[in-house]
Amino acid sequence: MNSAELSVFIRAIGVHAPERKLTNAELSLMVETSDDWIKSRSGISERRIAGPGENPSDMGAKAAAKALERAGLKAEDIDLLIVATMTPDVPFPSTACLLQAKLGLRRDIPCFDISAACSGFVYALQVGTDMMRSGAYRHVLVIGAEKLSSVVDWQDRTTCVLFGDGAGAAILEATNVKRVGILGNVLGADGTNAELLHCVAGGSASPASAETLRDGKHFLRMNGKEVFRLAVRVMAESCERVLAKCGVDSDQVAWFIPHQANIRIVEAVANQLNVGMERFPFNLDRYGNTSAASIPLALEEAWRDGKIKHGDLVLLVAFGAGLTWGATLLRWHEPTL
């Protein structure tokens, strides 16, 4: 069969979140804020915080192990590893290479990172899908893993209240069943707005120094008002574009899984699409914004809770630093049924 005719679906998904929960009440003892202030502006009640020595590769490995177990696969069955992260363990080598070793994957497979911030998982899904359709790979492991607690300024109440840590992993597989799995993707970026959500220091343009540490230039900085405005617009547009590309109406979609950034953003996107919030599962109240991990965390929970069923149309949509955005439409496929 022509490899271009292959359908690519998510065979299994696994997630991991650190044990430690940081509540709004605890945060109010660290910075000038309150439970009501945080909830009213974001919808977040608590977030997970990685422990000392618990890195994105560690969390990603645990999420991947669960996905492999659910898929009934072994580490040696994986032909390609893609990791989406904006908080890699180290600048180099890639977190994917570190994960390859921790998972015991074969040494002859390609492993690489994608840096698209909160859109990273959606970006990685398209890259993995297109590479599978080349016919060169049978099982692709896609992981979103973040340790955002390592890049937030815990004295900046506008950002530290929003973010958390976690990981999610999906195993992609090909099938000759038509019109199942990933039906279409759209991606986009606008680097002219990079300064709206960025980290100034730590790269080659501004290497770490006593001065950059003193001035807090290694922390995430965000223009929340502008990010909100742009996020709503491009997330709604991305949904509309991928639906049009696939010839699907919004009322045919069972579930919209948005990047879990802010409940007010999700509500605004739902309003623009004229879709009820009951079709937007969210768990950001318990996890906060986990960047590239947020969509797999929400997708896995909706599936585990029995919301997502075989044959359902599911739309994933994200927005992140870069600025980047993207959407993926898929028909949930469980080949064991």
Q: Encoding tokens for residue 193?
A: 């707005």
State CA 178 to chain mean position distance.
Answer: 27
Does the annotation count 139 as an active-site position?
A: no
Q: Is residue 36 scored above 90 in pLDDT?
A: yes
Domain chopping of the chain, boundaries: 3-177, 182-331
**CA-to-CA distance for 167 and 63, rounded, in angstroms?**
6
To the nearest whole percent, how much of the chain has pLDDT over 70?
A: 98
The whole-number pLDDT of residue 1 equals 43
Q: Is residue 93 scored above 80 in pLDDT?
A: yes
The total of other beta-carbon atoms located within 10 Å of residue 254's CB is 16
Q: Is residue 29 scored above 70 in pLDDT?
A: yes
According to DSSP, residue 183 is labeled: E
**CA-to-CA distance for 71 and 226, rounded, in angstroms?**
41
Geometric angle at alpha carbon 181, from 124 and 62, rounded to 5°: 50
The whole-number pLDDT of residue 337 equals 46
| Selected catalytic residue, list 118, 160, 239, 246 | 118
Residues 81-95: what's their mean pLDDT? Answer: 98
Same fold for the pair 3-177 and 182-331: yes
pLDDT band with cut points at 50, 70 and 90 for residue 5: confident
Geometric angle at alpha carbon 27, from 19 and 57, rounded to 5°: 35
**CA-to-CA distance for 86 and 277, rounded, in angstroms?**
29
- φ/ψ region of 152 (left if φ > 0, alpha if ψ in -120 to 50, else beta) reads beta
Q: Is residue 240 scored above 80 in pLDDT?
A: yes
What are 174-195's pLDDT values in tens digits?
999 999 999 999 999 999 999 9
The whole-number pLDDT of residue 4 equals 60
Fold of 3-177: Peroxisomal Thiolase; Chain A, domain 1 (3.40.47)
Q: Is residue 2 scored above 90 in pLDDT?
A: no
Q: Encoding tokens for residue 112?
A: 């690489």
DSSP helix/strand/coil, 155? coil
Does the annotation count 289 as an active-site position?
A: yes
How many residues does the structure list for the chain? 337
**CA-to-CA distance for 247 and 235, rounded, in angstroms?**
18
CATH for 182-331, options being 3.40.47.10, 1.20.59.10, 3.40.1190.20, 3.30.465.10: 3.40.47.10
- φ/ψ region of 157 (left if φ > 0, alpha if ψ in -120 to 50, else beta) reads alpha
Closest CA to 115 of 56, 182, 62: 56
Q: Is residue 288 scored above 90 in pLDDT?
A: yes
| Selected catalytic residue, list 16, 185, 289, 333 | 289
The total of other beta-carbon atoms located within 10 Å of residue 38's CB is 23
Does the annotation count 16 as an active-site position?
A: no
DSSP helix/strand/coil, 6? coil
Write the DSSP string, 193-219: GGGGEE--SSSSSS---HHHHHTTTTS
Write the DSSP string, 84-151: E-SS-SSSSS-HHHHHHHHHT--TTS-EEEE--GGGHHHHHHHHHHHHHTTTS-SEEEEEEEEEGGGT
Residues 221-247: what's their mean pLDDT? Answer: 98
The whole-number pLDDT of residue 17 equals 98
> What average pLDDT does the structure give for the chain?
96
Distances in Å between the alpha carbon of 301 and those of 23, 60, 308?
Answer: 20, 17, 9
pTM: 0.97
| Selected catalytic residue, list 160, 239, 246, 259 | 259
Q: Which residues are bridge partners to 170 per DSSP?
A: 13, 142
Q: Is residue 245 scored above 60 in pLDDT?
A: yes
